[in-house]
Amino acid sequence: MFNWVKTAILMAAITALFGAVGGAMGGKNGMLLALGFAAVSNFFAYWFSDKMVLRMYNAQEVDESSAPQFYRMVRELAERAQLPMPRVYLIEEDAPNAFATGRNPEHAAVAATTGILRVLSASELRGVMAHELTHVKHRDILISTISATMAGAISALANFALFFGGRNSEGRGSNPIASIAIALLAPLAGALIQMAISRAREFEADRGGAEISGDPHALASALDKIHRFAQGIPLETAERHPETAQMMIMNPLSAGGLRGLFSTHPSTEERIRRLMAMSPGTA
């Protein structure tokens, strides 16, 4: 229920932001156009944001005939978690990572890169996919996917501001309000992600994933491997669309610049420490 409230607040805030920027740039007509754009963005974000993200990563849906071991693993974990069977996708990327998306457990999808299938053992991969299914069970996926889509829409708002602000003879923005708005929009998108996505949700998904898979040590080992491999293998789509990074099991972004604004993951070391404390025989 809480995630539904957060989603409603997020959509209302985006609508208000679009209206304010549209009014500042283009008066009444600009506000109406921006509010119309916000309404369309909200509609598509709720109903189609999962498909947009999957398409962005060129994810390919698989089934029991095309990826039998992986598909059966997800099905077995979904049954253990008492969840409907999600759609299953593979992303042709060397960088090891995975995410879940969708608006509810009945319309959920899980995706993993081909890199993570190569890097992890079967037990480690089970832990990762159980982590993602925990996000589905906790209904984190709605706010996560919509916030990513909305942060991308804020970038489109920059182009909107530039359009209404006009350009001078040198091709630069001639409206100082538009210039200020454009300068603030990227940090604003990052702040939106930070406010919408709690770092605590990753700890909860780790705990739930360890319980569903029955092997906290394997998930801890998976996180350690992903962290080490991901540092040397960039996930190019995430670098181009940093607002989607918060959906991943591990932050895929290189450090520095505005990308740090989109970091929502707690430290890998702390996540591993908590999982190891769950292992049998650990004091």
Q: Which residues form the catalytic set?
A: 132
Determine the Cα–Cα distance for residues 278 and 82; give it in Å rounded to an integer. 22
Determine how many CB atoms are found less than 10 A away from the CB of residue 134: 26
Backbone phi, psi, residue 172, to 5°: -95, 160
* DSSP H helical ranges for 63-166: 68-80, 114-119, 122-137, 140-165
| Distances 236 to 123, 230, 240, 241, 258 between C-alpha atoms, Å | 27, 12, 6, 9, 16
End-to-end Cα spacing for the chain? 35
- What count of other Cβ atoms lies within 10 Å of the Cβ of residue 130? 29
Helix 68-80 to helix 200-213 angle, to the nearest 10 degrees?
A: 100
Distance of alpha carbon 233 from alpha carbon 118, whole angstroms: 13
What is the length of the chain? 283
- Are the beta carbons of 93 and 84 closer than 8 angstroms? no
Give the closest residue to 192 by CA, choosing from 223, 249, 225, 150: 150
What tokens appear for 148 in the block?
């990513």
**Phi, psi angles (nearest 5°) of residue 171:** 85, 5
